[in-house]
């Protein structure tokens, strides 16, 4: 949240600033979300856990993947309060009703005025809430979440096991695989990661990697991970830019 504070404090021309997690990928314009935000001071998104995952609300009712703050009294008070709480305590564990920087959001709707919880089904779709929706695709390859277009997906937990194999960890959340999920959502993201990696490859000095880092790239644990992913049938095979 420090970057959000700096953005609003140092650039007076900025009226609204939005934080995005690094593992988000956009499939459509976020315009519907800003229309939903309208004149609100703060916008957050819920995890929207299905019934069988409600116990995971112990990590937070709301997710920090998308946070919007307007330059006004309500949003600045929220940012200041959140900053102070995270300075006091911010760890990747559950403790006294807290979890990282996320659990603090639980009472924001009652603590801060003029806050909106974004309701668009295509915003912050993620492995933990896939079970709530039916995915299908329209002509032109657009992915739909029930009756609404997918705007952005949160690729939480995606793990690269080998250059051709990924574990999306859907089974951790009881989510079912589908062709739409694999080929309309994960495939474009993996292709983008592959292209970016290829572009950056020539800029990385592999000789500067530590022995430990090189070992992790080639260790026997990779073989174990490959076998585990294949046996659970929850893996994604990514070959020549295509998901199988």
CA angle 191, 197, 203 (to 5 degrees): 160
* Block residue for tokens 């069988």: 52
Q: Is a pLDDT exceeding 60 seen at residue 198?
A: yes
3-state SS assignment for residue 126: coil
Residue 139 — pLDDT band, cuts 50, 70, 90?
A: confident
Domain residue ranges in the chain: 2-123, 157-243
Q: What is the pTM of this model?
A: 0.87
pLDDT digits (tens, 9 = 90+) for 8-55: 777 889 999 999 999 999 999 999 999 999 999 999 999 999 999 999
Distance CA 56, CA 44 (A): 18
* Sheet-wide strand order for 143-145: 135-137, 143-145, 148-149
């Amino acid at each position: 949240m420090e970057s959000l504070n700096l953005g609003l404090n140092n650039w007076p021309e900025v009226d609204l600033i939005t934080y995005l997690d690094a593992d988000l990928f956009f499939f459509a314009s976020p315009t519907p979300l800003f229309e939903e935000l309208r004149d609100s001071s703060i916008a957050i998104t819920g995890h929207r856990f299905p019934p069988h995952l409600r116990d995971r609300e112990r990590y937070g009712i709301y997710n920090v993947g998308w946070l919007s703050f307007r330059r006004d009294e309500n949003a600045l008070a929220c940012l200041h309060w959140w900053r102070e709480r995270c300075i006091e305590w911010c760890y990747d564990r559950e403790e006294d009703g807290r979890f990282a920087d996320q659990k603090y959001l639980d009472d924001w709707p009652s603590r801060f005025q003029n806050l909106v919880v974004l309701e668009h089904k295509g915003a912050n779709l993620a492995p933990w809430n896939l079970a709530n929706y039916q995915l299908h695709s329209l002509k032109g390859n657009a992915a739909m979440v029930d009756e609404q277009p997918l705007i952005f997906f949160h690729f939480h937990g995606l793990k690269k096991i080998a250059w051709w194999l990924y574990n999306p960890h859907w089974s951790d959340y009881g989510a079912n695989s589908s062709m739409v999920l694999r080929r309309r959502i994960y495939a474009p993201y993996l292709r983008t990661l592959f292209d970016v990696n290829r572009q950056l490859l020539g800029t990385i000095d592999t000789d500067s990697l530590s022995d430990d880092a090189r070992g992790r790239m080639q260790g026997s644990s990779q073989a174990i991970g490959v076998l585990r992913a294949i046996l659970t049938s929850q893996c994604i095979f990514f070959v020549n830019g295509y998901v199988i």
